[in-house]
Amino acid sequence: MKEKINKAFNERFSGAGTLYVAPGRFNLIGEHTDYNGGFVFPGAIDKLMMAEIRPNGTDKVRAYSFDLDDYAEFGLNEADAPTQSWARYIFGVCREVLKRGGKVEGFDTAFAGNVPLGAGLSSSAALESCFANAINDIFNDNSIDKFELARIGQSTEHNYCGVNCGIMDQFASVFGKKDHLMRLDCRSMEFEYFPFKPEGYKLVLVDSVVKHELADSPYNKRRASCERVAKRLGIETLRDATMEMLDAIKTDITAEDYFRAKFVIEEKERVLAVCDALVAGDYDTVGRCMYETHHGLSKDYEVSCEELDYLNDIAKECGVTGSRIMGGGFGGCTVNLVKDELYEPFIATVKEKFKARYGHEPKIYPVVVSDGARIYENQ
């Protein structure tokens, strides 16, 4: 990747700039918990965005996307927003830095990445974090704190890309640390690193490559259920609810709301259980919790789909330690924790069985937990 970016940069802008990288992310456990004030548990992965950057002494950004073979040139004022969607991520990051009183001047850049687009590994957060971190280093003496860099990425999505996302993806891409996952408390925004060194295991995402668009905004309906139950309990979010509290009002709420809230409460407990298990190096418990999350997402929260349940069933049959839907649901990936010796047979089986039923193979993305946004070491 380095060589092709160097070459593209030199051809377009002549000479060389400084290389920066930022990763995509996965989430081990903690799904649909962010808007309930709960915990998420992401880690940065070894799939990256890499950008070569050099100030150009003008007030314009000149950007070349190697993967899309597309070029954009734009100024730094609000009215200068580029039309290409990929360039809006870079423009948005520049604007959000400026809005916070930071400094951005014109620069040249060529960039490329190997985070699969739209697979649920957050290639967009990788792109934002890569540029936010680079701009912090090049123009601001690294005076912008790391949490603010994550917020700059999140605001970019909100204000320039039309995606109303939470903070997890950008947070993970900025703060990622090799061999560690991060438990982020979505209420206090405090976080803690936990060791994640699954020796003898592989972590692999299996992408169903399906996305079911549902008409009646299931996401908003899930949120509304959670909010109703919290209100009925007299608490701000389900973060403060327990199963005893929920059972005490069971007859006053709909069965649907009951099961939605049950999932959220149990998921919060599961994240905490996984943290304890990781400290103890107990990956069997981690895996069991992943299956429980899948079951809860499928049966209680009802955000799974046939294809994802099938991937989960195959994993179970193959003896995979842990497997669950990753992300919002209704399609996308499962995340799987697989013993080394079962990895090859599992991948072969899942490809074959899935294709036999749905006509196409799932995509396979092995991932290794890695460091967050940074300057590239081997310039």
Q: Which two tokens stand for residue 62?
A: 């000149």
Q: What does 138-174 look like in DSSP terms, one character per residue?
A: HHSTT-S-HHHHHHHHHHHHHHHS-----SHHHHHHH
Q: Do 167 and 185 touch, CB atoms closer than 8 A?
A: no
303 binds ligand ADP (CB under 6 A): no
65 binds ligand ADP (CB under 6 A): yes
Which of 75, 126, 79 shows the shortest CA–CA distance to 104?
75
Indicate which of ligand ADP, Mg ion, none lies near residue 77 (CB less than 5 to 8 Å, by partner kind). none
Q: What is the closest distance, in whole angstroms, from the C-beta atom of residue 236 to ligand ADP in the complex?
A: 29
> How do strand 331-339 and strand 201-211 relate by DSSP bridges?
antiparallel
Q: By C-beta, is 42 or 287 nearer to ligand ADP?
A: 42
Indicate which of Mg ion, ligand ADP, none lies near residue 86 (CB less than 5 to 8 Å, by partner kind). ligand ADP
Q: Which two tokens stand for residue 303?
A: 């955000």
Q: What is the closest distance, in whole angstroms, from the C-beta atom of residue 125 to ligand ADP in the complex?
A: 6
Q: What is the closest distance, in whole angstroms, from the C-beta atom of residue 342 to ligand ADP in the complex?
A: 28
Question: What track of x and - describes contact with ligand ADP for positions 175 through 214 (by CB under 6 A)?
Answer: ----------------------------------------
Q: What is the closest distance, in whole angstroms, from the C-beta atom of residue 16 to ligand ADP in the complex?
A: 20
Indicate which of ligand ADP, Mg ion, none lies near residue 53 (CB less than 5 to 8 Å, by partner kind). none
The SS3 call for residue 251 is helix
Q: What is the closest distance, in whole angstroms, from the C-beta atom of residue 329 to ligand ADP in the complex?
A: 14
What CA–CA distance (Å, rounded) separates 96 from 311?
Answer: 40
173 binds ligand ADP (CB under 6 A): no
Cα separation of the two ends of the chain: 12
Q: By C-beta, is 121 or 305 nearer to ligand ADP?
A: 121
In the chain, which ranges are continuous DSSP H helix?
2-13, 85-99, 123-139, 146-160, 168-175, 218-233, 243-248, 255-279, 283-295, 306-317, 340-358
Q: Which of residues 84-123 bind ligand ADP (CB under 6 A)?
A: 85-86, 89, 112-113, 117-118, 120-123
Sheet bearing 201-211, strands edge to edge: 322-326, 331-339, 201-211, 363-367
Q: What is the closest distance, in whole angstroms, from the C-beta atom of residue 70 to ligand ADP in the complex?
A: 8
Q: Which of 108, 169, 257, 300 is catalytic?
A: 169
What CA–CA distance (Å, rounded) separates 361 from 297?
Answer: 23
Question: What track of x and - describes contact with Mg ion for positions 202 through 221 (by CB under 5 A)?
Answer: --------------------
Q: Which of 21, 97, 110, 127 binds ligand ADP (CB under 6 A)?
A: 127
Q: By C-beta, is 32 or 268 nearer to ligand ADP?
A: 32
What Cα–Cα distance (Å) separates residue 174 from each residue in 16, 32, 338? Answer: 25, 21, 27
Sheet bearing 374-375, strands edge to edge: 70-75, 60-65, 107-113, 42-55, 18-27, 374-375
Q: Do 34 and 166 touch, CB atoms closer than 8 A?
A: yes
Indicate which of ligand ADP, Mg ion, none lies near residue 65 (CB less than 5 to 8 Å, by partner kind). ligand ADP
Q: Which of residues 106-125 bind Mg ion (CB under 5 A)?
A: 122, 124
Residue, CB closest to Mg ion: 124
Q: Give strand pairing partners of 2.
A: none
Indicate which of ligand ADP, Mg ion, none lies near residue 68 (CB less than 5 to 8 Å, by partner kind). ligand ADP
Q: For this structure, is 309 an active site residue? A: no
Residues labelled as active-site residues = 169
Name the site residues for ligand ADP (rule: CB under 6 A).
65, 67-68, 85-86, 89, 112-113, 117-118, 120-124, 127
